[in-house]
Structure 1
Amino acid sequence: MSCYVSHHKEIIGAELRSRISMRYKRVTKAINREFWESESETSHSLYVGSYGRGTATDASDIDILVALPKNEYDRFDAYRGNGQSRLLQVVKSSIQSTLRSTSIHADGQVIVVNFSDGMKFEILPAFMEVDWCGGETYSYPDSNMGGNWRATNPKAEQLAMRERNESSNGLLFDTCKHIRTVHNKHYSSYALSGIVIDSFVYKTIGDWHWSSGASSSPEGKYEKKLLDDFNALSAFGRYSFELLAPGSGQRVDVSKSVECLNKVLQYMV
């Protein structure tokens, strides 16, 4: 594989997408049946994470947000002592009723579903809220440190990523996928979060873009620019390295990913 970013086109094949869709619908239907008294395979859920943002590769986990009724928030928020953990267990049980032979467990904020072919789903139960200007945000449970609620805005992130990808003629998505591919092939033993990758490239891409099917600059210059920007951001150490998620502006936890991102960018240069 070339060290430099190249056109990835569509690297998740039709067969794999079909399998993802089938499993997505089964999970969604199971949760809708439990919480909404509905048999819908698509309502109240959406792809999030790298798959939802358009930057996934065929090795990426599949993240799904499932919206639950507001009264369920009130119910679990009223628990004394980590109602967030109780909520995760109830959602896990609803999925197990459909995927009986699949490995399923709750993990902090999500329910992890490990399929026998190596595909992994992470399901995030959440509660939709509409802000004063009609935008949708979601509250989700975090069972760590005694339990609390956190917020996310995946639709704003997805919109921002799509718009910048269009303005870069596809270079944004190609760069994010390329970094993931290098990570998976050469540094998979190191942690590198997908939202860190996407937020970093979104922040540093600037006006760079594909031009007439080729790079808009001499070969290697773009990759060197990414590394230079990384070095500038981390000049005072990993704890001074700050990223905000595209669109939502939420702070991104980079603490476990900075070392690996540095290795990947060094490899690309």
Structure 2
Amino acid sequence: MQIRFLGVRGSISAPDSRTRFKIGCNTSCIELLNNSGQRLILDMGTGLVKLNNYYRENPKETDIYFVLSHTHIDHIIGFPYFAPIFIPKYNIHIFAPDMPRYSVKEVFENLMSTPFFPVNLKELKASIHFHFLTEKKTVKINGFDIYPRAHIHPITCYGYRINADNRCFSYLTDIEHFDRFDERAVETAEGSDAMVHDSQYFPREFPQYRHYGHSTYEEAIKVKQLAQSRKLYLFHYDPLRTDDDQYNMLELAKEIDSNVELACEGDYIKIGG
């Protein structure tokens, strides 16, 4: 299994790329590729537009599969600018948590509507298919086995345990442990070969952001160690953090656990053979 980080920021894309070019400026989007060449895309932040050239250069790959952690704007804002949605030959499948108050289709209808965007969802040329995911029910999506598990966030939000090629990757973004440690995250990450965990804050900052739905690097490490995951990638960085800020965070994290790295936009991670 191969992982590529297309966007690693949280909340909004980062300004002033001159001080953030190593880490990257785009919001959450990760591409997974299994050994059979099947592709899965996690979230649709601004990093999604990086795939426009790929689909332009590989016109035969017409089925595209997305899995969303949740529907906050920084995780779906790349969708209106994703070139394949305007081309008839594409079949786009969007899998998202089963939300109690509204459907994922309604979210996208609102996103792509006047006065927010000039093209409505129903006017798109591609075929868009919406699917809801049930917590704790494993589903196979384009060659990947996906196990969804809810965790603490202001709206319904899932972490994912993803298996392919006898390897396991866990995706835990937009998760908070402030009032109580969320043990469900340990279940999601248990024994994984690699994991991503929200690391938006330094511990000293955390109290003022209570109930925003995010974590510190220390909490990410706690999940990693309790889950006995082999490698942790910090993720969902504050948009105002510079590269120096993030490498300072990494240095502090490595004092606790040496098997921690920064998720950096454009990086490829190979898990297993």
Query: TM-score if structure 1 supplies the norm length?
Result: 0.24
Whose helix fraction is larger, Structure 1's or Structure 2's? 1
- Larger Rg belongs to: 1
Q: Point out the structure with the larger strand share.
A: 2
Query: TM-score, normalising length from structure 2?
Result: 0.24
Could you say which structure has the greater relative contact order, defined with CA pairs below 8 angstroms and 6 or more residues apart? 2
